[in-house]
A = this chain, B = another copy of it.
Amino acid sequence: MLRVVLVEPEGEYNVGFVARLCKNFEVDELFIVRPKCDINSAIKFSAKGESILRNAKIVDNYDDALKDVEIKIATSSIANNKGDILRKAVFPWELPSIMKSEKIALIFGRESVGLTREEISKADFLLFIPANPNYPTLNLSHAVGIALYEIWKAKHEIKPKITK
């Protein structure tokens, strides 16, 4: 069971796109903690993910979004910086090796300020998608897409074929 958790998302396009990505990459559950945008306006961006969005669980508490989950993976665009860090980050391609359990939540933060330290501290891992060191901050739904794509690949054990 793979659950995507969005914490206080602010952009309706992001919420809609995430629902679409959940359909593209066969995610089981979408939880949204205190959405800061209109979920109905998000529908027009969800395409065939519309039913996932309509069935999304809207919750008031972060902890409620993590119920019944065994492995909690938070995400951040500022991982492994010098200075104080909460934990060393894992890379997307390392996800398969830590996703041994059946019940996993992938947690994404606010467009404006990401996840709080407290929210990150409740997770088991911190995922960082490597990118331009001068600007590794992806837009929310694009971070979701890359993480889900790597997990989908691993789940389907896609073996590169020689095509040329």
Contact = CB atoms under 8 A, between A and B. Distances in A.
B88 A135 contact: no
Interface residues on A, range: 35 or more
Interface in A89-104: 89-91, 93-94, 97-98
Q: How many copies does the complex hold?
A: 2
Contact of A160 (B91, B152, B156): B91
Contact of A91 (B47, B145, B158): B158
Contacts of A132: 23-26, 152
Interface of A: 13, 17, 20-21, 23-26, 45, 47-48, 88-91, 93-94, 97-98, 125, 129-132, 135-139, 141-142, 145-146, 149, 152-153, 156, 158, 160-161, 163-164
